[in-house]
Amino acid sequence: MNKQLKKAIKYYDKFAKVYDLFSPKWYYGNARKYAIQQMALKEGSTVLNVPCGTGQNLEYFQKNMNNTGLIISIDLSEGMLEKAKEVVNKNDWKNVHIVKEDATKVNTTWLATQYDNTLRADAILCDLGLSGFPDWEKVIDNLYELLAPKGRLVIMDWYLPKPTLRGKPIKWIGKGEVDRPIYQYLQSKTNDFSVDTSFNRGGVFVATGIKS
Ligand SMILES: C[S@@+](CC[C@H](N)C(=O)[O-])C[C@H]1O[C@@H](n2cnc3c(N)ncnc32)[C@H](O)[C@@H]1O
């Protein structure tokens, strides 16, 4: 792990205790609900969530999948994963795997080692991660490769292309960049693409790429 990533994860390990207070469900509520709707989840779906953070998406996944299928929730911060595990244990959910891994290493080889080489995701949600990950284009490439045919990669993140006062606290709290052309990169990978840039007063987008 490089120094910068180590620093970010150490920060999230501590921040985990208060993450849900500083980033409460209502703040990204509309974007999150739309993102999950875009995943088109069904009973029995296989879902990946990278990074899963404290597990704020889990209740929505479960509701849409009627507590069936497989949910693989990945993050690199033990502190954040502990919070996600608390949610899983409290609800006694058996179909959720909480996995500690670096998002940049989640690829077909990784999935084959952890599960089997035929497993592919019906939907992947990458929420508030790519603005902070190193090598973010490669992460998009890898996640896209993990989709089943017609599978959906849904990305929710910040995009503030011009420096503004608003971007500063977001960068500081999230330890990421707010001006990465993330959805534009996803768009370049697929013909079946849509984006809604209207969330959080135009600062947050939800983009969907469907694998052909
Ligand atoms: C802003 S939080 C978003 C969490 C969650 N997706 C949400 O919307 O609440 C960013 C998360 O990315 C995780 N993270 C940062 N770098 C990572 C990496 N290289 N691999 C996996 N997770 C990482 C942090 O631990 C943190 O939980």
Q: Is 147 in the pocket of ligand 1 (CB under 6 A)?
A: no
Check residue 199 and give its pLDDT.
Answer: 98
Q: Is 5 in the pocket of ligand 1 (CB under 6 A)?
A: yes
For residue 174, is pLDDT > 80? Answer: no
Question: Could you tell me the distance, in angstroms and rounded to a whole number, from the CA of residue 128 to the centre of ligand 1?
Answer: 7
DSSP characters over 110-163? HHHHHS-TT--EEEEEEES-TTT-TTHHHHHHHHHHTEEEEEEEEEEEE---S-
Q: Is 198 in the pocket of ligand 1 (CB under 6 A)?
A: no
For residues 61-65, average pLDDT: 98
* pLDDT (tens digit per residue) in 153-168: 999 999 999 878 888 8
Contact assessment for residue 131 and residue 204, using Cβ atoms and an 8 Å cutoff: no
Question: Could you tell me the distance, in angstroms and rounded to a whole number, from the CA of residue 75 to the centre of ligand 1?
Answer: 6
For residue 182, is pLDDT > 90? Answer: yes
For residues 120-138, average pLDDT: 96
* pLDDT (tens digit per residue) in 85-113: 999 999 999 999 999 999 999 999 999 99
* pLDDT (tens digit per residue) in 141-150: 999 999 999 9
Q: Is 12 in the pocket of ligand 1 (CB under 6 A)?
A: yes
Which CATH class name applies to 3-210? alpha beta
Which residues, including other chains, have CB under 8 Å from residue 4's CB and lie 6 or more apart? 134
| Ligand 1 atom index nearest CA of 12 | 25
Query: What's the rounded Cα separation, in Å, for the pair 181 and 126?
Result: 15
Check residue 165 and give its pLDDT.
Answer: 84
Check residue 124 and give its pLDDT.
Answer: 98
19-28, 54-63, 185-194: range with lowest mean pLDDT:
19-28
Check residue 121 and give its pLDDT.
Answer: 98
